[in-house]
């Protein structure tokens, strides 16, 4: 059991999302940075879909009501427990009564707290993720509040043997030749790309897009030069998925994110590849994005790079655990 003491913004319980409910008009939800959530669960010998806490704003503070191992992944954060500092992408051991404090987030937009066994909230439509719009899943279908008591599942006996740090995903999967203040995101062209003339397409690729304060888990609204089709497009609402970049009438792109609706009618100019959606999720409000056109084969190769990183992490953690048990 853990007790929430201090929390700001839409902090929530998330797993990898409900991925098989689209046919019923239910969006995915789930961690905005799924690699960070997986990595934390791997370090704790959890099922990789175990629910954790997604923390988008500081300060954040909780009390452990029992001994348990935990991990912090995702954004770089300044954190401490029992008066000692904790590094990000690190597994630590908490004792009953210990208070974990996250004070600042110098880099990135979301930190993830995973605990031994995972957060044990009820499964709703196959997932423990919070769906804010529908007010279901997670902890009572809402953001966490001070005083909330979150139950935890029984941990794997193999978890929590000593402290452990891993290389962050953004270092291993870093992109080269990226402007210092921009996040470079790979995209494939989408259904209505040819409805924009060549000059407008080029404007889309060369522009640096600011993430506006109106951005959230539903969608990232961007600000930059107006990108408009050759002639107005009116489409019936049709299926869309996280990562789709729509162009509303004002010409300012919207990237659909993990809480996105399942259908929409705005024209689609491109789609963020699945291997880079976590990069968008870790881009801060006020930060900037650039889009890089990518072929389908390269998108699959990027997905393979993510799988290789996670496979190596699974192997390294398993070997380390075995060595410690043999001592």
Angle between helices 34-43 and 296-326 (to 10 degrees): 20
Is residue 13 domain-shared with residue 75, that is, in the same domain? yes
For residues 154 and 255, membership in a common domain is answered with no
Q: What CATH number did the domain enclosing 276 receive? A: 2.40.100.10
Residue 13 and residue 150 share a domain: yes
Whether residue 155 sits in one domain with residue 241: no
Is residue 176 in some structural domain? Answer: no
Terminal-residue alpha carbon distance, the chain? 31
Q: How far apart are CA 185 and CA 217, in angstroms?
A: 17
CA 70 vs CA 108, 121, 142, 171, 267: distances in Å: 20, 17, 23, 22, 43
Distance from C-alpha of 29 to C-alpha of 13, rounded to nearest angstrom: 10
Q: Distance (Å, rounded) from C-alpha 275 to C-alpha 265? A: 25
Domain match, 231 and 313 both: no
Which structural domain, as residue segments, surrounds residue 194?
A: 182-294
Same domain, 199 and 239: yes
Phi, psi for 19 (deg, rounded to 5): -90, 0
Do both 195 and 245 map to the same domain?
A: yes
Is residue 207 a contact partner of residue 224, using CB atoms and an 8 Å limit?
yes
- Given this model, what pLDDT does residue 318 score? 82
Task: Single out the residue of 62, 56, 52 nearest to residue 147, CA to CA.
Answer: 62
* Same domain flag for 193 and 151: no
| 75 belongs to a structural domain | yes
Q: Which two tokens mark 262? A: 């399942």
Number of domain units in the chain? 2
The pair phi, psi for residue 12, each rounded to 5°, is -155, 165
Give the DSSP letter string of 241-293: -TTEEE--TT---EEE-TT--SEE-S-EEEEE-GGGHHHHHTPPTT-EEEEEE
Residues 316, 290 within the same domain: no
Q: Is 49 helix (H, G, I), strand (E, B) or coil?
A: coil
Q: Decide if 17 is inside a domain.
A: yes
| Pick from 189, 267, 190: nearest CA to 232 | 267
The pLDDT of residue 219 is 95
The reply to whether 177 falls in a domain is: no
Residues 25 and 161 in one domain: yes
Per-residue pLDDT of the chain (327 residues; tens, 9 = 90+): 999 999 999 999 999 999 888 888 888 999 999 999 999 999 999 999 999 999 999 999 999 999 999 999 999 999 999 889 998 898 999 999 999 999 999 999 999 999 999 999 999 999 999 999 889 999 999 999 999 999 999 877 766 566 777 778 877 777 656 666 789 999 999 989 999 999 999 999 999 999 999 999 999 999 999 999 998 887 788 888 899 999 999 999 999 999 988 888 899 999 999 999 999 999 999 999 999 999 999 999 999 999 999 999 898 888 877 776 666
Give one word for 138, left, alpha or beta, with left for phi > 0 and alpha for psi -120 to 50.
left
Residue 300 lies in a domain: no
Return the pLDDT at 159: 61
CA 9 – CA 56 distance, rounded (Å): 7
201 and 256 in a common domain: yes
Q: How far is CA 100 from the centre of its chain?
A: 21
Do both 277 and 245 map to the same domain?
Answer: yes
Assess if residue 86 is contained within a domain.
Answer: yes
Residue 90 covered by a domain: yes
Kindly state whether residue 303 falls inside one of the protein's structural domains. Answer: no
| Residue 256, pLDDT score | 96
Q: Quote the strand ranges of the chain, DSSP E.
A: 2-6, 12-14, 52-55, 60-64, 68-81, 84-86, 90-94, 99-115, 149-150, 164-165, 182-189, 209-211, 219-223, 238-239, 244-246, 254-256, 263-264, 268-272, 288-293
How much is the pLDDT for 174?
73
Residue 169 is inside which H or E element, if any?
helix 169-172
């Amino acid at each position: 059991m853990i007790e929430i003491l201090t929390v700001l913004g839409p902090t929530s319980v998330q797993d990898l999302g409900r991925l098989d409910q689209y046919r019923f008009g239910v969006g995915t939800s789930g961690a905005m940075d799924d690699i960070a959530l997986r990595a934390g669960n791997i370090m704790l010998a959890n099922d990789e879909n175990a629910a954790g806490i997604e923390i988008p704003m500081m300060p954040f503070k909780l009390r452990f009501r029992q001994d348990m191992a935990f991990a912090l992944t995702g954004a770089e954060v300044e954190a401490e427990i029992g008066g000692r500092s904790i590094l990000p992408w690190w597994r630590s051991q908490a004792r009953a009564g210990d208070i974990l404090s996250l004070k600042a987030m110098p880099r990135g937009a979301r930190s993830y707290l995973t605990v031994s066994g995972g957060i044990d909230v009820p499964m709703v439509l196959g997932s423990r993720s919070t769906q804010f719009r529908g007010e279901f899943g997670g902890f009572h279908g809402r953001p966490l509040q001070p005083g909330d008591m979150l139950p935890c599942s029984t941990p794997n006996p193999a978890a929590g043997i000593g402290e452990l740090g891993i290389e962050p995903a953004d270092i291993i999967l870093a992109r080269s030749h990226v402007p210092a203040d921009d996040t470079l995101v790979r995209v494939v062209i989408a259904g209505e790309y040819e409805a924009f003339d060549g000059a407008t397409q080029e404007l889309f690729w060369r522009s640096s897009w600011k993430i506006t304060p109106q951005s959230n888990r539903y969608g990232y609204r961007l600000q930059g030069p107006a990108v408009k089709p050759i002639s107005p497009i009116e489409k019936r609402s049709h299926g869309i998925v996280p990562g789709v970049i729509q162009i509303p009438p004002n010409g300012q792109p919207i990237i659909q994110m993990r809480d996105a609706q399942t259908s929409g009618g705005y024209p689609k100019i491109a789609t963020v590849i699945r291997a880079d959606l976590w990069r968008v999720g870790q881009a801060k409000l006020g930060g900037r994005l650039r889009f890089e056109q990518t072929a389908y084969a390269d998108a699959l190769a990027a997905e393979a790079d993510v799988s290789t990183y996670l496979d190596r992490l699974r192997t390294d953690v398993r070997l380390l655990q075995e060595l410690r048990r043999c001592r």
